[in-house]
Chain A
Amino acid sequence: MRPVAAAPDPTKHFFQPIIVCLTVASVALTLFVIWISLHDLSLMRAGSEKFVGLDNYVRFLGDPRAMAALWRTVLFTTLATVIEIALGLAVVLFLDRDFAMKRLVRTLLLVPIIMTPVVVGLTWRFLFDPATGMANYLLSLAGISQVDWLGNPRIALFSVLIADIWQWTPFVILLVMAALESAPTDPLNAARVDGAREWQVTWYVLLPMLRRALAIVALIRAIDSIKAFDLFYIMTRGGPALSTETLNYYGYIVAFTNFDISYALAIAIILTVFTNVALLTMYSVLFPKGGDR
């Protein structure tokens, strides 16, 4: 027997229209994008649009530039996420004590996050200027010769990575710090009483407690790194010799330099699918079913 009249939920008048609007908008847009990606649509050849099926996707598979860009995206995302989490965690453990300037330090940590990426990019471009930049000046004090930070194709990607790490490690620190402060201290003390050494307390008790927070931060950072655009645009524009062209940036070039809209959207869809698969995999590894220690 069905319940005659379930208690009406008054909040539904609030969320239902919103859900409907969002669903319609996102489904319609996604379908439209897929539809265009199945055509040959170039803004420089108006009136010659035609249906080409999966041609744009086949073209992607045979496009070495796209493949190299995909690989660079993977490399950049992995390095950025891993280094930012590791560095952030180290700094959190270091800051996890009471000291006089704690509030000030926490405020200062916000500065890189608040700065607009354009300013960050320009600042690092000046720092990395081979002739007048601070980076080479510091190296020269140590007797190391000039490094062409953004002009050497073997180094440029890592120079952008440094800027990204500088900007986003504080984000990791803030989130993990918050998690740490809301975590109970009893288990730590219990472990100490049981005779565990300090590194054992950290490794076996503290880190497992922070696992969820770290996983969430890692997911957020990974998603952001895959989408990273502004630093690349400001610092290197994908150069030199394509050494900093990520898939996201390549998609931008195809759309707004080559005006090949349909291929650009195909790239965008591939990047979206790829990101979803990668992140869902990551998610299931980080949060195994039933395993919630």
Chain B
Amino acid sequence: MLTRRNLLMLGAAAAALGLAAPAVAQDKPFNGVQISVLLEGHPTTDAIQKMLPEFKEKTGIDVAVEVVPEADITAKELLEFSSKSGRYDIVQNNIIYLPGFVKSGYIVPLDEFLAKHKENFDKADFVPGYFNTNVLDGKVYGLPVYGESTFVMYRKDLFEQYGLAAPKTFEDIENAAKTISEKTNKQVAGITMRGQQGIQGVYVWAAYLWGFGGSFFDASGKSALAMPEGIAALDAFTKVLKDYGPVGVANFGWEENRLLFQQGKAAITLDATVNGAYNEDPAVSTVVGKVGYVPVPMKSTSPKGGSSSLAVHSMYVSAESKNQEAAALFAAWATAKEQQLKSIETDPNSGVTSLSALNSDSFGKRYGAFKDGMIAAINAGNPQYLPTVAQANEIINNTGIAVSKALAGTASAADALKEADEANNAALAR
């Protein structure tokens, strides 16, 4: 009869057999192992998929990749995690979810695996700002696939035409937006930014929040948006958009904003560094070579954090994975410098996380126009730019409503932020 003890013995015998014939598989300890990977729809994912045959040849590991849009990936991951399905060995997501994943025991630390596979893992080669966001309580939980920051983009030609200097402060931005909007009789919007309710508006407004010396939380961890700094930041943000922004800005997400700017219909925008790649691509842009890139201003003399973002998207290994080491090996390989260098050649990847790739000639050739601005932004990038607590999503949602209300004029900045604080604190208390 097949009792539990017999089963255990069978298992032991199988293990012994495995040990008895190791010489063949020495260099490929995971030969035949299958892992399942959930990735975001992104140029880096396209590049990784093209390189999978090399990984299979090198390690013998079969990788099944599933691709989902970034907006839907968190819900999918959480449903799989919470049902302990073990459906994916590796998942990808923004690092703002990392603390929640760790707290819930959904993902595992990688230190032990990485130490075993040093040939694929060179910590010193990662952009430090990107890598460090993956460390919690001294343990490495993720490996950064791509990252970005934010900066100010402005039309050098228009600024020159109207005698304006490159914007260094929020006041410079407002003045320039005013001048260009008035001088062109609103044919060119003075400024455009994302105004859409939700993460879109919050991602950009947070630059103003930190730049004015505000912060999402106070020292005790409570939501503290309705402080004088936060209110001033929201007033300044909505003022430039209402007075000098394009019509319909209240519904602008990343795409609408980017399109308007690269079509030459706006003079200034503050957005993600990846937009540089679109501005400088002659196939989609009418402003190639006309755009200047400068850091997000800092108004406060005692800021609580940097005013440019640090958005990092990493691969994590699921706690339910049966092949954690093979999975970690894949994550290390996919983010190693050799693969990142190749990805620049095959796909429009301006978000490389490897210093070697960032400093390579091919990167400079493609993205030279904004490379310096981007590196400056990353180095000043604030890893706490968006909340990273477990309730981050809900807090961003509430804050987005406040930004949208102030922009639409249905509530004052102070009232809208106070309301957001209350909703945020209720979420934090749950």
Contact = CB atoms under 8 A, between A and B. Distances in A.
Interface of A: 40, 42-47, 65, 129-131, 146, 148, 150-153, 236-243, 253, 256-260
A150 B197 contact: no
B391 A242 contact: no
Interface string B85-106: 0000000000000001001111
Contacts of B106: 46
Given A44-B78, A257-B394, A151 B247 contact: yes
B352 to A, nearest CB: 30
A144 B265 CA distance: 23
Contact of A47 (B104, B251, B411): B104
Q: Give 6 nearest A-B pairs by CB, closest first.
A: A239-B197, A151-B250, A46-B104, A130-B248, A130-B247, A43-B78
A44 B391 contact: yes
A239 B410 contact: no
B251 A240 contact: yes
Contacts of B248: 129-131, 148, 150-151
Given A239-B404, A257-B397, A131 B82 contact: no
Contacts of A256: 75
B5 interface: no
Interface of B: 74-75, 78-79, 81-82, 100, 103-106, 195-198, 246-251, 265, 390-391, 393-394, 397, 401, 404-405, 407-408, 410-411, 423, 427, 430
A interface majority secondary structure = loop
10 contacts: A43-B104, A44-B104, A146-B247, A148-B250, A151-B249, A152-B250, A238-B197, A240-B407, A241-B408, A257-B397
Contacts of A258: 391, 393-394, 397, 427
Contacts of B410: 153, 241, 243
Nearest to A254: B394
Contacts of B195: 151, 240
A257 B390 contact: no
Contacts of B247: 130-131, 146, 148, 151
A240 B390 contact: no
A150 B78 contact: no
Contacts of B75: 256, 259
A256 B405 CA distance: 22
B250 A239 contact: yes
Given A44-B390, A148-B247, A239-B198, A153 B103 contact: no
A129 B78 CA distance: 35
B405 A241 contact: yes
Nearest to B106: A46
Contacts, number: 101
Contact of A259 (B250, B393, B404): B393
A40 to B, nearest CB: 7
A237 B390 contact: no
B238 to A, nearest CB: 11
A65 B419 CA distance: 11
Nearest to A244: B197
Contacts of B197: 237-242
Nearest to B197: A239
B178 to A, nearest CB: 20
A242 B198 contact: no
A251 to B, nearest CB: 13
Contacts of A236: 251
Contact of B408 (A44, A237, A238, A240): A240
B251 A150 contact: yes
B167 to A, nearest CB: 24
A148 B250 CA distance: 9
B256 to A, nearest CB: 9
Given A131-B265, A258-B393, 15 more contacts: A43-B78, A43-B82, A45-B104, A130-B248, A148-B247, A151-B251, A240-B196, A240-B404, A242-B401, A242-B404, A243-B410, A257-B397, A258-B391, A258-B397, A260-B394
A151 B393 CA distance: 23
A129 to B, nearest CB: 7
Nearest to B252: A151
A60 B249 CA distance: 32
Contacts of B79: 43
A150 B407 CA distance: 13
A46 B105 contact: yes
B239 to A, nearest CB: 16
Nearest to A125: B251
Contacts of A237: 196-198
Contacts of A45: 100, 103-104, 390
Contacts of B394: 257-258, 260
A151 B196 CA distance: 9
A236 B103 CA distance: 34
A237 B100 CA distance: 25
B199 to A, nearest CB: 9
A259 B81 CA distance: 13
Interface centre among A65, A130, A240 (most CB of B within 10 A): A240
Contacts of A129: 248
A130 B246 CA distance: 9
Contact of A257 (B393, B423, B430): B393
A40 B247 CA distance: 43
A238 B198 CA distance: 9
A65 B398 CA distance: 11
A47 B248 CA distance: 44
Contacts of B430: 40, 42, 260
A131 B246 contact: yes
A176 B195 CA distance: 43
Nearest to A46: B104
Nearest to A40: B430
Contacts of B390: 44-45
A42 B104 CA distance: 10
A65 to B, nearest CB: 8
A257 B78 CA distance: 11
A151 B405 CA distance: 11
B412 to A, nearest CB: 12
B86 to A, nearest CB: 14
Nearest to A258: B394
